[in-house]
Structure 1
Amino acid sequence: MKLRDDQGSPRPKADRSADGDGPDLHQEGAERLQKILARAGFGSRRACETLISTGRVMVDGAVVSEQGIRIEASAHVIHVDGRRLQLDDAKVTVVLNKPRHVVSAMSDPEGRRDLAEFTAPFSQRLYHVGRLDYETEGLLLLTNDGELAHRLTHPSFEVEKTYVCRFDAPGGPPRGLVKVLRDGVELEDGPAHADRARVLAQDGREAVVEVTLHEGRNRIVRRMFASQGFELTALMRTRIGPVVLGDLAAGETRELTGRELGTLMAEVGL
C-alpha cells in the first residue's frame, strides 16, 4: 500500500484509491503509526519502524510497510504479528483468581460472597466472562468489552481452557483414565472429550490431573470425572486461551498485558 510518493509526501487520496492499493489511511495531524506501536509496548520507535518496514503490521486488514503514516488509533483496527492492539483506554480486561466459595455473579440473593468485592476497585463497570461454579477456583476474566466477552463465551470460537483436578485415588488413578478423558465420555447432554489430559501428581491416596478442553458446558469437567466414578475434591482453572493464572494469589486481580489482550482478541477474530 503506497501512501507516499517517491519524495516521501503523502499521495493524494484519489491516486491511492485508483491504483487499488487499499483504503485511505493517512490522516494529516494524527499520530504516527510507529509512535502508536511504541505506546502499545512494542519497543522503541526505531524497533517499531522495523516492524512496519518488514510487513508485520496490518491496519484495517491491509499490510502497511511504509514509514510516517499518521492515523487515529481509535478509528482503525491494528494488528502486529496477528495480535490485535487494544488502544481504547475505556476498555479494561482483568484476570481474577476467584477463590473457592464465591458465586460467579455480581450479587447473590442468598448473601454468599460474589464478584462485586473484586470489581469494586475499578472505576469501570466490569462483568464476568463465563462462570466458575461455587466450589471451583481459579482464572476468571472480568471485562467491560462486550464484543470480546461475547466471542470468548460463544462455542463457535472454541477457546481452550485448562483445569487442574484433584480427587481421591487410592492406589493411584486407573492407567486408562487420561485416555478415556481424551477419547471422550458420554454425558446426559451429549459426548465430551478433553483435548489434552495428563497426570501431574499421585501419592497412592490422591491424584492430580490436568485437563484442557474447549467446551464450556455447565460443570463439564466435574461431570466428566464423575462419569468415571471420581468426585473432584478441588478444581482450579489455570488458563483461558493465551492467558495464564500464574502466581496470582486467590482473590487478587491484575489487568491483562497488551500482548496477552492482543493475542486473546486475535484468537477470537478481533
Structure 2
Amino acid sequence: MRLNQYIAHHTQYSRREADKLICDGRVNIEKTKATPHSLLGANERVFIDGKKIVPKEHFTCIVYHKPKGEIVSKSDERGRRVIYESLESKFKHFIYVGRLDFASEGLLILTDSTPVAKALMESDLPRTYILKINGSITQEMINAMENGLISEDTSAGAHSKSKIISMTFAPFNSYKILKNDKRYSKIKVSIAQGKNRELRRFFGVFGREVLDLRRISYGFVHLNALPCGKKRFFTHEEYRDLHTFLQNKRDKKLQKN
C-alpha cells in the first residue's frame, strides 16, 4: 500500500492532505523521515508528529442519497457543490464506491476502508436504476438490453469533454418497463458495472435522452425510503452481507492460487 493511501485509510486525512504531511516532514516510517518516494514495507509503523498510526481492524460504511446537482468528488474546479459539503466533517476521508453524475441522484456507498471500496467497485454486483427517458421504448432497444450492444458512437449520452466514444454494452441483468409512451417512458434496469455514463450513452444510441436517473440499489444495499440529501449507516444485515461478500471474494482468490 502506498504511504499516502495508508494514512488516508487509517486516519481522518485525505490522500492529498497525507501528501502535504509527508512533504512537510511530519511523517516517519519507523525512525526514518518519510519522503514522497518512500515505500511502506510490511509491518512497518507509521508516525505523524511522533504519534503512531493505529491500523483500523474494523470499517464503517454509509449510504448517502445523493441529490441532483452535486459532484461525486473531493473538489470541483468549476465550483460546483460536492458530496462532502453535504456530509458531516467526520466523513470527509470516506471513499465513494463508484460515481453518479451531476444530473443523477440516488444511492451512493461510502466507506473508510480502501480494500472494501475497491472490492465493491470491481465487483459484478448488480446496480439497479429507475430511468425516465423521452420517447418510447422500442423493440430494438429491448433486443439490445437482452443481447448487448457494440456502438462506435455513444456521444449522445456522453459528457461534452469525454474522449470515450465507442463502447461495448453487456446485456442488462434485468429490466422492467414501468411506462411506455411516445412522450416519455419509465424503466427499471439492473446492470453489472456502470461504466462512464453507461445508461445515458446506451439510450443515447437510440436517440433517447435520459431525463431522470436514480440508483435504488447496489448489490445487497438498498436506498428504500432514505430521503434525498440524507445519509445512514449500514444496517446489521448489510454488514453481514458485506462480510459474506468479502469472504467469498477471498475464497475465490485462494482457489485461483
Q: Shared fold by TM > 0.5?
A: yes
Residues 169 and 202, structure 2, Cα contact 8 Å, conserved in 1: no
Matched, 1:107 2:75: yes
Residues 66 and 106, structure 2, Cα contact 8 Å, conserved in 1: yes
Q: Which residue does 1:31 correspond to in 2? A: none
Instruction: Please report how far the alpha carbon of residue 180 of structure 1 lies from its aligned counterpart in structure 2 after TM superposition.
Output: 2.3
What pairs up with 1:1-270 in 2 under 5 angstroms? 91-122=59-90, 125-154=93-122, 157-169=123-135, 172-187=136-151, 188-268=166-246, 269=249
Using a 3 Å threshold, how does the CA distance of structure 1 residues 182 and 151 change in structure 2: closer, same or farther? Answer: same
Count of equivalent residues: 179
Q: CA RMSD in A?
A: 2.0
Q: Which moved more, 1:139-148 or 1:200-209?
A: 200-209
Instruction: Please report how far the alpha carbon of residue 159 of structure 1 lies from its aligned counterpart in structure 2 after TM superposition.
Output: 1.4
Q: Distance in 2 between matches of 1:105 and 1:123?
A: 13
Larger Rg: 1
Task: State the TM-score, normalized to the length of structure 2.
Answer: 0.64
Q: Which residue does 2:17 correspond to in 1? A: none
Task: State the TM-score, normalized to the length of structure 1.
Answer: 0.61
Instruction: Please report how far the alpha carbon of residue 248 of structure 1 lies from its aligned counterpart in structure 2 after TM superposition.
Output: 1.0
Instruction: Please report how far the alpha carbon of residue 191 of structure 1 lies from its aligned counterpart in structure 2 after TM superposition.
Output: 3.6
Residues 163 and 237, structure 1, Cα contact 8 Å, conserved in 2: yes
Instruction: Please report how far the alpha carbon of residue 178 of structure 1 lies from its aligned counterpart in structure 2 after TM superposition.
Output: 2.8
Instruction: Please report how far the alpha carbon of residue 119 of structure 1 lies from its aligned counterpart in structure 2 after TM superposition.
Output: 2.8
Instruction: Please report how far the alpha carbon of residue 265 of structure 1 lies from its aligned counterpart in structure 2 after TM superposition.
Output: 3.5
> Percent identity over the alignment?
27
Q: Distance in 2 between matches of 1:119 and 1:125?
A: 11
Residues 84 and 92, structure 2, Cα contact 8 Å, conserved in 1: no
Secondary structure of the residue aligned to 1:122 is helix
Secondary structure of the residue aligned to 2:199 is helix
Instruction: Please report how far the alpha carbon of residue 259 of structure 1 lies from its aligned counterpart in structure 2 after TM superposition.
Output: 1.1
Residues 164 and 235, structure 1, Cα contact 8 Å, conserved in 2: yes
Secondary structure of the residue aligned to 2:143 is helix
Q: Distance in 2 between matches of 1:143 and 1:109?
A: 24
Q: Distance in 2 between matches of 1:136 and 1:123?
A: 21
Unaligned runs of 5+ in 1: 1-87
Compare the two structures and name the one with the higher helix fraction.
2
Residues 92 and 124, structure 1, Cα contact 8 Å, conserved in 2: no
Q: Distance in 2 between matches of 1:222 and 1:182?
A: 17
Q: Distance in 2 between matches of 1:242 and 1:133?
A: 22
**Quick one: which amino acid aligns to residue 95 of structure 1?**
V
Using a 3 Å threshold, how does the CA distance of structure 1 residues 158 and 118 change in structure 2: closer, same or farther? Answer: same
**Quick one: which amino acid aligns to residue 150 of structure 2?**
E
